[in-house]
Amino acid sequence: MNFNAQGVWAIYRFEMHRFMRTLWTGLAVPVITTSLYFIVFGAAIGSRMTEIGGVPYGSFIVPGLMMLSMFTESIFNASFGIHMPRFTGTIYELLSAPLSPLEIVLGYVGAAATKSITVALVILATANLFVDVTIAHPLPMILFLVLIAATFCLFGFIIGIWAKGFEQLQVIPLLIVTPLTFLGGAFYSIDMLPEPWRTATLFNPVVYLISGFRWTFFGTSDVGVWISLTATFGFFLLCLVIVGWIFRTGYRLKS
Amino acid sequence: MAPVISIRGLSKTYASGLQALKPLDLDIERGEIFALLGPNGAGKTTMISIVCGLVTPSAGTVTVDGHDILRDYRQVRRKIGLVPQELHTDQFESVFATTMFSRGLFGCPRDPSYVEKVLRDLSLWDKRGAKIRELSGGMKRRVMIAKALAHEPEVLFLDEPTAGVDVELRRDMWELVRRLRERGVTIILTTHYIEEAEEMADRVGVINRGELILAEEKNALMAKLGKKELTLQLAEPLAAIPPELSEWNLALNQDGHELQYIFDAKADRTGIPSLLARLRDHGIAFKDLNTRQSSLEDIFVSLVSDRRGE
C-alpha cells in the first residue's frame, strides 16, 4: 500500500459533507454578494464608467469578483477544515492514521478547492444574468481557476495550522488578503493609477493573479500572461514548501 | 513467539525541557492484555502517543510486528487502534458516518456490514443515525472505541478507558476487552484504577516519573510482592504486646483491641499455628479473626512511594 486512496477519499467526503450541511448559505452568500456588486458597481456606477480596454465596466469586474470570492472562500474553507480537528482534538485520529502528509493535504485542500471553484462558477453564472460575459480562452481560464484555488487553499491550510484560535483564522484574510485584492486591480485596471501608485502596485502579488485570470476572459492584461502564470505557480510552490516543512517538523501538530 | 510491540531505549523530552520518559525497554506479547499503571503525569500517555504517531520520540526505537514505527509508519498504523483519554468527537457527524470515516482513514475499503458488526458489539446500532452531540458521555466513549476498531486493528490502545464512566459501563467495557482478546487482539490499557488492572490484565507495568519500574505477570507480581495480614479481634484489650510474642511481626491497633500480624504469603511456614498456640498458652483470647491478601493497589502504592523516597 503505497498510496492511501481510501484515506484521501474519506477526508474529501468528510469535508464535502461538512459543506453540504451549509449548502444553501454557502451558495446564497456568493449569489447575493455578486448581485449587490452588480447593482452598485454595474448599474449605479458602471453606467458612468468608460470601457476599459474595450470591455464594458460591468463585464470587466467579473474576473476580479470571482477572484475576490475565491481568495476568501479558499482561505476560509481550508483553514477552518484543518483548524477544527485541532480545536476539537479529533486530529489525533488523522495523526495516528496511515496517511502521508501529501494524502492529508490532498484530502483537505482538494475538498476546499472543489468548494471554492464551485462558488467561483456560481458567481460567473450569476454575473451572466447581469452582464454579457465571454471567455476568450476557456482552457487557460480553468487552469488559472484550479491553480489559484489550490494555491489559496494551501495557504488557508497553513493558516489553519498556524492559528492558535478562531480569531487568528480571520486575521490574514481580513487584514492582508482582502486589502491586497482591492488594491490589486479587482475593480480597475492598474493602468488607471497615477505614478507612483502604479509601480507600487506591481509589488502586490495579487495583481499578477487577477491580471492573468482577466486575460483568459478578454485577451488583454495589465502584466504579461506568462509573468502572471509564473507568479501564480511560484506562490503555489511556496505554499507547498511551507506545508512540507510543517509536516517534516510537526509544527503545531506534534510535540 | 516474537513480541508484537518491542520498545527499546525509548525516551522523550518535550521542548519545554520536561523529561516525560526516561530510556525505557518494554515488550508487549501478542494477544495479551497489558495494563500500564501509574499516577497522573507519569508518562503513560506519552508512551502510547509515541507508538501511535502523535508524539515524536527523542531517542530509541519501537517496532510493531517487526516494522519500525517511523520508517514503516503505514504498516504499523494500519495494525493499531487508539482510543484516547479525552472524548474527541466530530459533534455533527452521525455514529455510522464517523465510524465509516475512521475505516476509510486507515485505508480500508467501505464495508457497511463490518461497521454494523462493530456498532452492534458496542450496543450502538440503535444509535447509528444519531448525531454524536446528542449522545451521553458513556455513549461517546463507545463511539470512540468503535472508531478505533473500524479498521480491524491487531493492537488496541485504551488510554484510561473507564475514567469518568459509570459502574455498569465499566463492566461492559471489561467484557468487551475480554471478547476482543479472545479474537486475538492485543490490548494495552492505561489506568489508575488498580481494580481494573487486577480484574483484567495478564501483565502489569508500573510507570512513575517517566520510568518503568516493573513489568510482570500480574499473578506472579501479586505472589511475589503480596503480603498477607492476619487480624485478631481480642476479647480483652492489651496495653502492650507481651514480650513472649516478640518473635512475630505484630502490631497492636484500635486501642489494643486488635492484634495484627503481617506475614509472607508465599513462605512455607507462615507462623500462624505457633502464634495461635502461644496466645492460648498466655490466655489471650480472641473473638474473631480474618486474613487479607494485599491488593495490587497496596503493591502499587508501596512501589510508587518507595521511589519517591529516593
For the stretch B219-267, pLDDT in tens is 887 776 667 888 899 988 988 888 888 888 888 888 889 998 888 766 6
pLDDT of residue B238: 87
Q: Cα B257 from chain centroid?
A: 37
Taking 90 as the threshold, does the pLDDT of residue B72 lie above it?
A: yes
Mean pLDDT along residues A64-74: 92
Contact A44/B at CB under 8 A: no
Chosen domain end from B185, B206, B223: B223
Q: How far apart are the first and last CA of chain A?
A: 27
Of B238, B224, B205, B240, the closest CA to residue B294 belongs to B224
The residue in chain B having the minimum alpha-carbon distance to the alpha carbon of residue A88 is B88
pLDDT band at B189 (very low <50, low <70, confident <90, very high): very high
CATH number, domain of B124, equals 3.40.50.300
Is A83 in contact with A169 (CB distance < 8 Å)?
Answer: yes
Q: CA quadruple B164, B166, B169, B170: dihedral positive or negative? A: positive
B90 to A90: CB separation less than 8 angstroms, yes or no: yes
In angstroms, the separation between the Cα of residue B104 and the nearest Cα of chain A is: 5
In-domain check, residue A117: yes
Answer yes or no: do B41 and B71 share one domain. yes
pLDDT of residue A86: 94
pLDDT of residue B310: 46
Q: pLDDT (tens digit, 9 = 90+) per residue, A93-120? A: 999 999 999 999 999 999 999 999 999 9
Answer yes or no: do B167 and B30 share one domain. yes
The C-alpha cell of B226 is what? Answer: 503480596
CA dist A111 and A11 (Å) reads 8
B101 to A88: CB separation less than 8 angstroms, yes or no: no
CATH number, domain of B272, equals 3.30.70
Answer yes or no: do B106 and B129 share one domain. yes
In angstroms, the separation between the Cα of residue A235 and the nearest Cα of chain B is: 30
Q: pLDDT (tens digit, 9 = 90+) per residue, A139-171? A: 999 999 999 999 999 999 999 999 999 999 988
How many Cβ pairs closer than 8 A exist between chain A and B? 84
| B188 compared with B256, residue with greater pLDDT | B188
**Residue A19's domain spans which residues?**
5-249
Taking 80 as the threshold, does the pLDDT of residue B296 lie above it?
A: no
In-domain check, residue A255: no
User: Average pLDDT over chain B, rounded to whole?
Assistant: 89
Residue ranges of the alpha helices (H) in chain A? 5-21, 23-37, 57-88, 91-96, 101-130, 138-162, 166-172, 178-182, 197-201, 205-218, 225-249
Residue B292 pairs in a beta bridge with: B229
In angstroms, the separation between the Cα of residue B32 and the nearest Cα of chain A is: 22
pLDDT of residue B163: 77
B89 to A88: CB separation less than 8 angstroms, yes or no: yes
Is B42 in contact with B209 (CB distance < 8 Å)?
Answer: yes
Give the pTM.
0.86
Number of domains in chain B: 2
In-domain check, residue A159: yes
Taking 90 as the threshold, does the pLDDT of residue B270 lie above it?
A: no
ipTM of the prediction? 0.90
The residue in chain A having the minimum alpha-carbon distance to the alpha carbon of residue B49 is A96
Residue ranges of the alpha helices (H) in B86-190? 95-105, 112-121, 137-149, 167-182
Mean pLDDT along residues B191-218: 88
The residue in chain B having the minimum alpha-carbon distance to the alpha carbon of residue A103 is B105
Q: Is the peptide bond before A30 cis (omega within 30 degrees of 0)?
A: no
Answer yes or no: do B215 and B238 share one domain. no
CA dist B252 and B246 (Å) reads 12
In angstroms, the separation between the Cα of residue A100 and the nearest Cα of chain B is: 8
Taking 60 as the threshold, does the pLDDT of residue A1 lie above it?
A: no
In-domain check, residue A254: no
The residue in chain A having the minimum alpha-carbon distance to the alpha carbon of residue B81 is A96
pLDDT of residue B307: 63
Answer yes or no: do B232 and B188 share one domain. no
Contact A194/B at CB under 8 A: no
Contact A92/B at CB under 8 A: yes
Taking 70 as the threshold, does the pLDDT of residue A224 lie above it?
A: yes
Answer yes or no: do B152 and B213 share one domain. yes
Answer yes or no: do B51 and B10 share one domain. yes
**Residue B283's domain spans which residues?**
227-293
A97 to B106: CB separation less than 8 angstroms, yes or no: yes
* CB nearest A254 (choices: B56, B86, B88): B56
Q: pLDDT (tens digit, 9 = 90+) per residue, B128-150? A: 999 999 999 889 999 999 999 99
Q: CA geometry: angle at A64 spanning A63 and A68, to 5°?
A: 120
Residue B208 pairs in a beta bridge with: B211
The C-alpha cell of B103 is what? Answer: 475505516
Mean pLDDT along residues A6-27: 92
Answer yes or no: do B117 and B131 share one domain. yes
pLDDT of residue A221: 82
| B310 compared with A147, residue with greater pLDDT | A147
